Structure 1
Amino acid sequence: MGFIPSPGLPWIAGLSLLPFFLQFLGLGLEGVLGQGLCGSALGVSELEAVKYGLVSEYYLYGQLFLALLALKVTYALVLMALRLMYPEKDPPFAPLVWKVGVGLSLVLLLLFLATRTLPLPFSTPLGPALLSPAPLDPLSVMMVLPEPFLLGLYLRFRP
């Protein structure tokens, strides 16, 4: 079947980029849609957040999602570059590229489900604590909704 054929590449790249761009809606439409997966991690540096007491218990998880979204964007750009580098044949490491894409999507989906349903561990000056699950807002759901479709595309275009 080959390394993500041309009809599947735009869909996979687009669905991989979509959550990153949707996160920016949380900056402007926070009151309507919520803060998204990254929550309070955007807009305030960690130093400022600690200095002014703005760190919420979900700040660390927001940073984790922000790093994951950055990895997904990087993956999508690498995928497009690989298609330009290998226009007629599969790269020799096509199965590894496929596994990275599936892994990123699964991690995002599972981390979303875990942070929205399970108590979250958090370090406090008195020791570890368990916090209530992160709030479920419409923007977070919109950001994770493409992942099952993306996993289906990965299965369809498996090298």
Structure 2
Amino acid sequence: VTVPSYSAAGTLFQGLCGAPDAPHPLSKIPGGRGGGRDPCLSAVIYKDEKLTVNQDLPVHDGKPHIIHFQYKITEVKISSWDAVLSNQSLFVEIPDGLLADGSKEGLLALLEFAEEKMKASYVFICFRKNREDRALFLIQTRKANPHPCSWRHLL
């Protein structure tokens, strides 16, 4: 089998069958350029005037789904929450540091969306135990969805 060669830059490479080869995506370099994570493709699964919900792609049946919530506080302020949906349970991570005014409303909107639209059976709120404002989140989430479990050991 002979493979035709190219003669100049910009000329199409030919595959083994003699036809031009299909374009290929750029190779991914592990630990490559940039300081952050590799960007993922995501799809908007819900959007209204305040709340936007994106889901990372591809989604594989039976595997956890990564969900991103953005709540519009003002024209220039947005609170963002990352979550993982697995077996009808949503695990929400509260970001470190001070949260913008209005973030609690964003968390409540997220909880309502999880219950009403995603039909999540359980929602787990994950945050560092040394947060100074952790009691506020526990009280607010308890008001939003009262449950007979004891919260005293978390305070």
Please classify the TM superposition score into its range, dividing by the shorter chain length.
under 0.3
Q: Which has the higher helix share?
A: 1
Q: Higher relative CO (CA 8 A, sep ≥ 6), structure 1 or 2?
A: 1
Q: TM-score, normalised by structure 1?
A: 0.25
Q: TM-score, normalised by structure 2?
A: 0.26
Structure with the greater alpha carbon radius of gyration: 2
